[in-house]
Structure 1
Amino acid sequence: MKRTLVALLACASLPALAGSPAVAVAPSPAAHAASGLLPGAAYAPQRAERHHTPDPVRAAQAPDAPVEEPLHLEDVPRSETERGARAASCSGSTGPFQRQAERYLRRAVDGLQSEADCRAIRRFQRAHRIAPASGFAGPVTGAMLRLMRAQKDPNRDGHCPERRERTVCVDLDRQLLWVQQGRRVVFEPVAIRSGQPTNETRTGTYRIYLRKRAHTSNLYHTPMPFAQFFDRGEALHGVYDDIYQGLGSHGCVNLGWRDASRLWGALRHGDVVHVWGRRPSG
């Protein structure tokens, strides 16, 4: 009974203001200033700024209602966010994930942006709905590259136990989740957003003890579609905004709405959830 009560007061993504129905907030201006990067909203003002934060009650009552997939808004150099910057221009700046992009795209790995590098990175960004697709290898592009590299063998380092029973693998280091049974991956890796620094997702091995397809957090008043609780109120659940934005959750493991919907169908009460690592800072 106590465990169920805790679950009903469960975590959700960090709201912008107390009592606000917003699912998550973007990183603070100070955080962006420290990195020298800013959200590239100037390139996609009509689509990238449209956050999917529906009315919590309506969203909780109809978690299966069609949801438009949000764009993944990349952070870019301040000079590229200035008014007049053109979406058609190719970034000449070397991003923090330049080498990773070059390696994945089979370019010469020199860590320096070139016109050919930019064109290749732009194609990758367009294919994965990253805006602006300017060719700048920023943190969102880096996260997508990490996700793509994990597709073939997500458990290459052996951090997730290979059990006979279905196991949800939650990799906080890489901000990824997949499901495996023995050595076979039965649900491919997807991006997640775990707890913010002051509310880190707890590590360990658990079991799903409560599933609520339509749930609203009583504590934060935010929708938690396809919620699957595994530890004292911490749950796997969907969000309506861009999974790559925001400070993080209050401890839950956030998934994009579509991924959370598919995961709901792949799991059952009693399935194992194994969590390890620590969310990278910044």
Structure 2
Amino acid sequence: MHRMTRHHVWTLLLAIATLTALATPAAAAAPKIPLPDIEIVPPAEKGKQAPFCSTTTGPHQKALERYLKLTPDGKQSPADCAAIQRFQDTYDIWPDTGYAGPVTWMAAKLAYAQEHPNDKNRCHPAPRVICIDLTRQILWLQQDTKTVYGPIPIRTGTDAYATRAGTHKVYLRNVDHWSTIYDAPMPYAQFFDGGQAVHGSYGSLFSPSGSHGCVNLHYEEAKALWAKTKKGDTVHVFGRKPAE
């Protein structure tokens, strides 16, 4: 019998570790939520260093309580904060203070929408259609009934400049458009109804909370959507933007 050398021992241990890793199922990762935005901090808590547990009731308190299966009383509590904080940590939302703000609520909506983008069949099938859900403030791209891109977060018009619902066609595309009305960039602009277009935004989608009627996307997502669409594609806008 051959004597096992130190080299043989290390080789055997490495083989065992590799086989164990292959045989052990990886922990289920949270679905990717494309949110580069930073969660807002209530004025009374500005200057505090995260992590800490927010005592302030957020604008989406009751909605997040329902989503996380907490008591939906619309009031922040230590239990609410801890649950919201865990959700924020799962989706890398910062600062993770347990505050029920717009970025956290959007992440919850996206987490659900990734499994059920067209759950009420509001977006009409077409060979290729950009689906814009005003109610949930999300967009996805559909081919017939199959989702091929998204859903992703969006920002649509304010009450004074509402994004118009209806079925349209992309009639003009401009990769480097500049708005002469608002003196602002509109990268990867795809116009579908008069001056209203889907286009990229360099800033946050949550501040300010509404556009002048266009559908704003994060820059990289507008670029990705551009590559998957073309002039003449259908754009279906439906629902109603929630009151601010």
1:139-150 to 2 correspondence within 5 Å?
Answer: 139-150=102-113
- The superposition leaves residues 204-239 of structure 1 with CA deviations (integer Å, 9 ceiling, x where unpaired) of 111111111111112211111111111112110000
Deviation of the 1:113 alpha carbon: 4.6
Counterpart CA distance in 1 for 2:185 and 2:210 is 15
Residue 167 of structure 1 aligns to a residue whose secondary structure is: strand
CA contact (8 A) 2:39 2:102 kept: no
Residue 124 of structure 1 aligns to a residue whose secondary structure is: helix
Partner of 1:183: 145
Partner of 1:153: 116
CA contact (8 A) 2:134 2:156 kept: yes
CA contact (8 A) 1:74 1:141 kept: no
CA contact (8 A) 1:74 1:130 kept: no
Partner of 1:131: 94
Please state if 1:71 is matched with 2:34: no
Counterpart CA distance in 1 for 2:208 and 2:89 is 22
C-alpha RMSD of the superposition: 2.2
Please state if 1:80 is matched with 2:45: yes
The structure with higher relative contact order (CA 8 Å, sep 6+) is 1
Indicate the larger mover: 152-161 or 86-95. 86-95
CA contact (8 A) 2:66 2:72 kept: no
Which amino acid in the other structure matches residue 165 of structure 2? T
| 4+ residue segments displaced more than 6 Å | none
Deviation of the 1:93 alpha carbon: 4.0
1:1-282 to 2 correspondence within 5 Å?
Answer: 70-76=36-42, 78-81=43-46, 83=47, 85-105=48-68, 107-111=69-73, 113-163=76-126, 165-282=127-244
Counterpart CA distance in 1 for 2:116 and 2:36 is 27
Deviation of the 1:127 alpha carbon: 4.4
- The superposition leaves residues 52-74 of structure 1 with CA deviations (integer Å, 9 ceiling, x where unpaired) of xxxxxxxxxxxxxxxxx853232
Residues 260, 135 of structure 1: alpha-carbon distance in 2 compared, 3 angstrom cutoff: same
Deviation of the 1:102 alpha carbon: 4.3
Deviation of the 1:138 alpha carbon: 2.4
Deviation of the 1:159 alpha carbon: 1.2
Instruction: Give unpaired runs (5+ residues) of structure 2.
Output: 1-34
Residues 129, 245 of structure 1: alpha-carbon distance in 2 compared, 3 angstrom cutoff: farther
Residue 215 of structure 1 aligns to a residue whose secondary structure is: strand
Q: What percentage of residue pairs aligned between the two structures are identical? A: 45
Instruction: Give unpaired runs (5+ residues) of structure 1.
Output: 1-68
CA contact (8 A) 1:72 1:140 kept: yes
CA contact (8 A) 2:187 2:199 kept: yes
Answer 1 or 2: which has greater strand percent. 2
Which amino acid in the other structure matches residue 121 of structure 1? I
Residues 89, 232 of structure 1: alpha-carbon distance in 2 compared, 3 angstrom cutoff: same
CA contact (8 A) 2:39 2:101 kept: no
CA contact (8 A) 2:131 2:142 kept: yes
Matched residue pairs, number? 209
